Structures are given as C-alpha cells and as structure tokens.
Chain A
Amino acid sequence: MGREIVIPFGPQHPVLPEPIHLDLVLEDEMVKEAIPSIGYIHRGLEKLVEKRDFKNYVYIAERICGICSFIHSVSYCQGIENIMEITIPDRAAYLRVIWSEYSRLHSHLLWLGLFADAMGFENLFMTAWRLREHMLNDMEETTGGRVIQGSCKVGGVRCDISNDKLASMSAGLTAIEPELSEMAGVFLEDETIDMRTRGVGVLSKDSAWDLGAVGPVARGSGIALDARMTGYGAYEHLDFSPVVISGGDCYARCRVRVEELFTSLDLIGQAITMMPDGDIEVPVRGNPSGEFFSRTEQPRGEVVHYIRGNGTKNLLRHRVRTPTTANIPGLVQMLAGCELANVPVIVLSIDPCIGCAER
C-alpha cells in the first residue's frame, strides 16, 4: 500500500459549490495525483436548439448558468444578431454593458466570498456576500430577477432603466465603494490570507499560454487577454484596459478579481454617464441562416458561443466553449504537489463553473 492516502473529493463536498470529482492521492497531505472526473451536472441543453424557437432559446442560453447568466444571453443574442445582421439600438448596447458589469460584480463578490470560505475565513465570506446583495438588489429592481435576469433578447433588451434609476444606481455604487475597497484591502493585505495564497498553485506565463488559460487565470499569469478588448457591444466606446498581474499564484488571481471590481464600477459609471436615449430594441424578422462565433468576456474569462442556423426557426447547432473548460488543464497542473488544505483554494482560484462547463 505504501504511504498513500486515497480519498474521493467530490461530487458532494462542502467546499465544492458544484459537483466535480477528484481522486486525490495524498502522501501525508501532499497531493501526489489528482484525477478529475466530471459529468454530474451535464444536462445537454445545446441539443435543445433543435426543439426551441431561436428567439425563445435565449431563456435556455441564460440558464446555461445562473451566475453569469446575463452574459450568456448577451453572447447568444450577439451571435444571432450578427448572423441576421441586426444592429441593436445604442441604448440597448449600453444597458447590456451595465448589466454585464453588474453580473461581473456580483460574480466576483460571490467568488471572493467562496474563496475566503475555502480558506476558512468565514467573516470575509459573509462580508463579500453581504456587499453582493447590493448588486443583486439593483439587478432585481431593474430586471426583475436576482440571479436570472431574463432581460436580454434578440434585437436588444427587454426592459429599460429610467434615467432617474440610473442616477440612483450610480449613487448607490459610489456609496458602497468604500466598503468594497475596505474588503479589497483585507483580501490583498491580510497576513493569513497571504499565507494561504501566495506561492500556492503557481501557473507560469508560458504554461498559462500553452495550456490556453483565459480570463483572470490568464491575466493573473501576466497575459493581457480579455474579450472586452475586442470592443463588442458598447465596450468600444468605453475607456477600458484589462487588469493584468504577474505572479501566476492564487494571490495574483485573487488580486485580478479584486481589482476588476473597481474596473467594473468604473465601466458602469462611464456607461451611465454616456447613456444615449432612444429605443431599446429593434424588431426581429425572419430566421437566422449562417454561422457565427460570438466571443464575450465572462467573469471567468472568455466564452465562445458558436451558432449555426439554416433559415428555420430552429438552429442547427449551438455550441459553447466556456472559460472553465479552458482553465481546467491549467488547474490540473497547479494541483500537482500541493497540500490537501490548498486543494479547495486552488480549485476555486480558477473560479470553476461546472454549470456552464458541462451545460
């Protein structure tokens, strides 16, 4: 038998918000081998395009996952709009940016909380989630849904935000910013967090590139890779530069996300001030025919929706390449040789989202 401890990690495990499974082979507490296995929440929803109207399918697309659901719907709609050559109204584009960035805020706060919890820092978890409720509140007030917004549709958005509301949202975010930066300070400066994150789960710039990492994982390893740089939607009008940190460890990835909170706040601010008046949607006639790769930046990195239609109301193919899928090879590399106690920290540091990875 040797001196090995073999334990199952997942699918049901308190630190795993979503089920995956790892066979962990440990020696003392050092992970010698981690063999992943997935499929616990595979639903097969891409296949549903064959049964659903492409316009209604947006509801399914946004239920690929409940955390960045809005961005999924944006990606999907963008794809259809590109195939059908629809230009959405500017106001709709700006509203999409606002909600996207709200999603990012709430997702990053959610992640920060879970990350803190994985390290056993319960108070910080509570703090992050307490602040997150502010974002959810705004989302619900503007779209009617806390986590599944359902406010994006092919050809624009489903509901408008009044200019008064926009102003009060902006004011609310400014008011909450000090608390956010205080929390950010804890993440970035606390000694004990440092002990758990610095030098843990290192992914070098080269391996990050070779293994095809995306999102904060890539940016934490020093690669400036952010789909928002492509300027989709209204992003081309906004002043944006990605947060890039070198280091490649859990601390760097955490730092990327912490700093992105403030980029998001900034982007929302910009979008609100630049918000044009006008319609929020254009009518959509006909059915899509053709194919398109739609790229957007989710909180976890770049997501690609591949859409192919043949002129009927049902699409031929819908395929999603999710950031988690792209980051898993990096994760496997990070896990080798780590401590058991760091497994949750490292796993969470890529912000795995099995929901969309398995669909």
Chain B
Amino acid sequence: MRAFTITRTIVRMLFRGPATIRYPKEPAQIKERSRGHITMDITTCIFCRLCEKNCISQAITVDKEERTWTIDRMRCIICGECVTACPKDCLRIDPRYHPPVTEFLVETLQGPPVPDPVPERETA
C-alpha cells in the first residue's frame, strides 16, 4: 500500500501536454465509418418507399404522388438500414454529424418532375 501512486501519471501528463482535441478550433475527428447523418441524392430516387418501410424509427416518409422525400432528423438514429434498403443507392451516410438546431428539423426534398415516360419504358 502506497500513497500518491498516481504521481507518475500526473508527471507524465504535465510533460506530455493535454490530450484534448481543441474542437471547435481544430476540426472534429471524422472517421471514415462514422455514422454522421443521412444524405440523399433526390435526383436518382424512384420513390419506391423501401427506405420508409425499413426505417425502424419512421423517420422517412416518401410521397410518391408529390415526389417528395422527407426525413425527420429528430427521429433518425442513423442506423443505415435505409441506405442498405435503397435499390438506387441514392442514400448515403455522411460521416459528418448534423449540427444542432433550435427548432425541429424536418427536411423535405422535392424530387425532379416525372421524367419522360418513354425512356423509362426503355429501361424496363
């Protein structure tokens, strides 16, 4: 049993300097795999609603008629289930987190107008 056993650690910390990341002066640490927030490339979306169905916290609503894709940031747990589910790869997880907000944030993206039916038939 000894007293002041932590001395070595203290001395080392004094010499090594702080371990602190000086955020926000320094940028935040972003890992490649970090699940920051969901981004959407609305242009390629086909409004199939697969993301909506697979979302565990009902954060996504897709309106096929209006061609809107809506995400409630205050519900999304960034699990990435929607990303996996999306057939068109239009969803992505961005490793940067979403900044804090003062009001509820429900983002609605308006898809481009219905493309010409002709080319669509061609792909089918």
Contact = CB atoms under 8 A, between A and B. Distances in A.
A85 B9 CA distance: 50
B56 interface: yes
Given A56-B54, A56-B81, A140-B31, A123 B1 contact: no
Interface string A191-210: 11010000000000000000
B98 interface: no
A144 B31 contact: yes
A314 B59 CA distance: 20
A142 interface: yes
B33 interface: yes
Interface stretch (A178-186, A220-228, A240-248, A339-347): A178-186
Given A143-B33, A189-B1, A191-B1, A150 B79 contact: yes
A130 interface: yes
Interface in B49-108: 54, 56, 77, 79-81, 93, 95
A191 B8 CA distance: 16
B81 A186 contact: no
Contacts of A190: 1-6
A148 B76 CA distance: 14
Contacts, number: 64
Interface residues of B, number: 23
Contact of B19 (A60, A123, A130, A159): A130
Main SS class of interface, B:
loop
Interface string A31-66: 000000000000000000000100011011001000
B74 to A, nearest CB: 16
Contact of A52 (B4, B9, B56): B56
A150 B81 CA distance: 10
B95 to A, nearest CB: 8
A272 interface: no
B9 A141 contact: no
Contacts of A59: 56, 77, 79, 81
Contacts of B77: 59, 63, 148
Contacts of A133: 19
Contact of B56 (A60, A123, A179): A60
A156 to B, nearest CB: 14
A56 B56 contact: yes
A142 B80 contact: no
A276 interface: no
A145 B79 CA distance: 10
Contact of A183 (B3, B9, B33, B56): B9
Contact of B31 (A57, A63, A141, A194): A141
